[in-house]
Amino acid sequence: MSSNKLAFPKDFIWGAATASYQIEGAWDEDGKGESIWDRFSHTPGKVENGDTGDVACDHYRRWRDDIALVKELGLRAYRFSVAWPRILPDGRGEVNQTGLDFYSQLVDALLEVGIEPFITLYHWDLPQILQDEGGWPVRGIVDAFTEYADIVSRALGDRVQKWITLNEPWVSAFVGYSMGHHAPGHTNQDEAIAASHHLLLSHGRAVPVIRANCPEADVGITLNLSPQEPASPSVADRKASTWVDGYINRFYLDPLAGRGYPQDMVQSFGNPMEFVQPGDLDAISVPIDFLGINYYSRGIARSDEVSEEENEPRTVFRGDEVTEMDWEVYPKGLFNILGRLHFDYSFPDLYITENGAAFVDEVGPDGQVDDPARLSYIKRHLAMIHKAIQIGVPVLGYFVWSLLDNFEWAYGYSRRFGIVYVEFQSQQRTLKSSAKWYRKVMLENELEATA
Ligand code: JJW
């Protein structure tokens, strides 16, 4: 066993990420409007254990302590999202200044301690009132989002330079409108496809608005990307794999890269996509300054079709190391996807805007939380990023998901992704051993890799 040091570029941006609905709580305070996640989580049967984001990590009240924590950890950057219904309780129109002030103070406090804010404008908490008009499947949402992006970038653009329009539009569109596991809980694929287009168009329209309000801005979008492999070399399994890749990855990457919608997917969906209007594809492919990547795992696709070669191997080796989400730990997938984005798609600068893992944590008798599995997960993914940088992929930064244990959507509080443990009754925060280790990595700007 040899040990070597993997040094990162000297200006590499080390961070951690959160999202408004997952940490803030205060769901109806200070003039905030209802979001689709308030409505969804308040609907019995939608979220595990009946959990809601009503209180979450109580970050809306404890934000000063949480920034002190971020400072103590030695993070260079902090990625958080703005809750649209705090800013515009009616979705558009009247601005709730108290909501804007909350984020303005947060930004000031971060800058004061030398931490760079990365703002995500939309991380799934759509104002319910806009959903009542039809939500993302209806084109009117695009103007509402552009107005919202204008208001926030006007207010914070003098101090914030890193802007992410959307987080994981595939999850917003398909998990929310087609699978129904997320808000608003619909199960209509045509709605999801229309939602997807209006999400991308909203992104494209917001980019120049943010740039106009903040000439120094770097603007990007964050996608959940997951490389797909066929379960066997059979034609049927390879077709299945191409399909899932088209569904999760290409349906977003292609239009953003100026390639238009992938025709195999348009055909397979059987949706004429008549909501795509002249000029939309140009708007969507507006040049971005960076692409954000949320990476958790790969997928292994198999066809339901019974193949002719019945004795062929039906499942490629799937590592038996999985997280509490039952997602395979597969660091190499991150290397693969980074190479593809740079060498095939020629995307500009890349940030890993999320990577991390849920594991069951136990508080020891000494009050410590030892989480070697999470530490190892993060370490091996960082090693893959280092490897990608070595071959010329411009990865500028990395954000652990998440700073804090928080509300993991349909799983409620049952899945802990934090590098900081949260005891939700007392709201006490405890650095897990992964956080202490990460602090050292950031400080030294290098990773001790064992090979
Ligand atoms: C749901 C697929 C069947 C989050 C999903 C697919 C079908 C049960 C982590 N990323 O909390 C959720 N996360 O808010 C953003 N990444 O449905 C941030 N991907 O499900 C984190 C993927 C995800 C998902 C969740």
Q: Identify the band that residue 274 occupies on the pLDDT scale cut at 50, 70 and 90.
A: very high
pLDDT of residue 229: 96
Output phi, psi for 329, to 5 deg: -80, 110
Q: Give tens-digit pLDDT for 142-192.
A: 999 999 999 999 999 999 999 999 999 999 999 999 999 999 999 999 999
Q: What is the pLDDT of residue 273?
A: 98
**pLDDT of residue 416 exceeding 80:** yes
Residue 284 structure tokens: 């969507």
CB atoms < 10 A from the CB of 49, how many? Answer: 9
| Spacing, Cα 385 to ligand 1 middle (Å) | 22
pLDDT confidence of residue 450 = 72
Mean pLDDT of the chain: 97
Distance 299 CA to ligand 1 centre (A): 13
CA quadruple 26, 32, 38, 39: dihedral positive or negative?
positive
Tell me what the mean pLDDT of segment 349-374 comes to.
Answer: 98
Q: Is the pLDDT of residue 314 over 90?
A: no
Q: How many CB atoms lie within 10 A of CB 36?
A: 26
If pLDDT is split at 50, 70 and 90, which confidence band does 312 have?
low
From the CA of 182, how far away is ligand 1's center (Å)?
9
Give the 3-state secondary structure percentages of the chain, helix then strand then coil, rounded to 5: 40, 20, 40
Atom nearest to 22 CA in ligand 1? 14
End-to-end, the C-alpha distance of the chain in Å comes to: 6
- 353 Cα: distance to centroid of ligand 1 (angstroms): 14
Contact 175, 181 (CB under 8 A): yes
CB of 324 sitting under 6 A from ligand 1 = no
Q: In this predicted structure, what is the pLDDT of residue 215?
A: 97
* Atom of ligand 1 lying closest to residue 124 CA: 14
**In the predicted structure, residue 265 carries a pLDDT above the cut 70:** yes
Residue nearest to atom 23 of ligand 1 (CA): 171
Which residues are CB-neighbours of 132 under 8 A, at least 6 positions away?
Answer: none
Q: How far apart are CA 195 and CA 271, in angstroms?
A: 13
Our answer on whether the CB atom of 325 is closer than 6 Å to any ligand 1 atom is no
Q: Which amino acid is at 80?
A: F
How far is 401 from 404, CA to CA, in rounded Å? 8
Q: What percentage of the chain carries pLDDT values higher than 90?
A: 94
Q: What does the pLDDT read at residue 317? A: 86
State yes or no: pLDDT of 310 exceeds 80. no
What atom in ligand 1 is closest to the CA of residue 123? 14
Kindly state the average pLDDT of the residues 187-203.
99
Q: Decide if pLDDT at 451 tops 70.
A: no
C-alpha–C-alpha distance, residues 45 and 362, integer Å: 27
Q: Find the mean pLDDT for residues 74-81.
A: 98
- Residue nearest atom 17 of ligand 1, based on CA coordinates: 175
354 given a catalytic annotation: yes
Using CA atoms, how far apart are residues 198 and 138, in angstroms rounded to an integer? 7
Q: Which of 168, 191, 324, 408 is catalytic?
A: 168
Q: What is the mean pLDDT of residues 248-259?
A: 99
- pLDDT band at residue 306 under the 50/70/90 scheme: low
Whether 181 is in the pocket of ligand 1, judged by its Cβ within 6 Å, is yes
* Span from the CA of 433 to the centroid of ligand 1 (angstroms): 25
**What pLDDT score does 1 carry?**
47
What is the rounded average pLDDT of the residues 24-39? 99
224 Cβ closer than 6 Å to some ligand 1 atom: yes
If one counts every other C-beta atom within 10 angstroms of the C-beta of residue 309, the result is 11
Per-residue pLDDT at 311 exceeds 80: no
Question: So what's the pLDDT on residue 109?
Answer: 98
pTM of the model: 0.97
Cβ 408 under 6 angstroms from ligand 1: yes
Whether 185 contacts 176, CB under 8 Å: yes
